[in-house]
Amino acid sequence: MIKNNRILMKNWIEKEQPSKDDIQSLNETLKIPAFICSLLLQRNINSLEKAKQFFRPNIDLLHDPFLMKDMLKVVEMIEASKTKKIMILGDYDVDGTTSTAMLFKYFDNKGFNISYYIPDRYKEGYGVSLESIEYAEKNNFSLIVTVDCGIKALTQVDLAKSKGIEVIICDHHLPGETLPNAYGIVNPKQLDCKYPFKDLCGCGIAFKLITAHNLISNDPCDVFEFIDFVALATISDMMPLVGENRLLVFYGLKRINENPRIGLRNFLKSINSKVDESKVSFNIGPRINAAGRMKNGKVIVDLLVQEDREKASIMSNEVEFLNQNRRATEKDVFQQAIKQIDHASFTNIVYSENWSKGVLGIVASRLIEQSYKPTIVMTDSNEELLTGSVRSVSGFDVHEALSKCVDNIFQFGGHKYAAGLKVKKSNYENFKVQFEKTVRKSVNEKMFRKSFSYDVLIDFSEITFENIKIISRMSPFGLGNNKPVFRTNNCFLDHKLKFIGKESQIVKSKIKDQSGRELPFICFDKKEQLINISSTFDILYTINFNSYSGNDEIELTLREIDIKK
Domain at 65-321: CATH architecture: Alpha-Beta Complex (3.90)
Strands 486-493 and 506-512: antiparallel
For residue 11, the model assigns a pLDDT of: 84
DSSP 107-134: HHHTT-EEEEE---TTTT-SSS-HHHHH
For residue 492, the model assigns a pLDDT of: 92
Strands 184-186 and 166-170: parallel
The boundaries of every CATH 2.40.50.460 domain in the chain are 8-56+452-563
Q: Alpha-carbon distance 18 to 398, whole Å?
A: 32
pLDDT in tens, 433-465: 999 999 999 887 667 777 899 999 999 999 999
For residue 117, the model assigns a pLDDT of: 97
Q: Alpha-carbon distance 503 to 354, whole Å?
A: 28
Give the mean pLDDT of 404-433: 91
The boundaries of every CATH 3.10.310.30 domain in the chain are 341-448
The CATH number for 341-448, chosen from 3.40.50.620, 3.20.20.10, 3.40.710.10, 3.10.310.30, is: 3.10.310.30
Q: Alpha-carbon distance 377 to 356, whole Å?
A: 11
For residue 121, the model assigns a pLDDT of: 86
The percentage of residues in the chain with a pLDDT greater than 90, rounded to a whole number, is: 81
Instruction: Indicate the pTM of the whole model.
Output: 0.90
* Average pLDDT value for the chain: 93
- Percentages (nearest 5) of helix, strand, coil residues in the chain: 45, 20, 35
Residues paired with 557 in a beta bridge: 522, 542
Residue 542 has pLDDT above 80, yes or no: yes
Give the mean pLDDT of 134-140: 97
pLDDT in tens, 480-529: 999 999 999 999 998 899 999 888 899 999 999 998 899 999 999 899 99
The H or E element that residue 556 is part of is strand 553-563
DSSP state of 283: I
The angle subtended at Cα 410 by Cα 407 and Cα 412, nearest 5°, is: 100
The angle subtended at Cα 268 by Cα 94 and Cα 554, nearest 5°, is: 105
Class of domain 8-56+452-563: mainly beta
For residue 534, the model assigns a pLDDT of: 84
Q: Are 274 and 254 in contact (CB under 8 A)?
A: no
Q: Are 145 and 103 in contact (CB under 8 A)?
A: yes
The boundaries of every CATH 3.90.1640.30 domain in the chain are 65-321
**Confidence label for 550 from pLDDT (cuts 50, 70 and 90):** low
DSSP state of 550: S
Residue 5 has pLDDT above 50, yes or no: no
For residue 425, the model assigns a pLDDT of: 96
Give the mean pLDDT of 545-563: 85
Residue 547 has pLDDT above 90, yes or no: no
CA nearest 99: which of 112, 89, 114?
89
pLDDT in tens, 256-283: 999 999 999 988 887 777 899 999 999 9
9-18, 215-224, 300-309: least confidently modelled range: 9-18
Residues paired with 186 in a beta bridge: 170
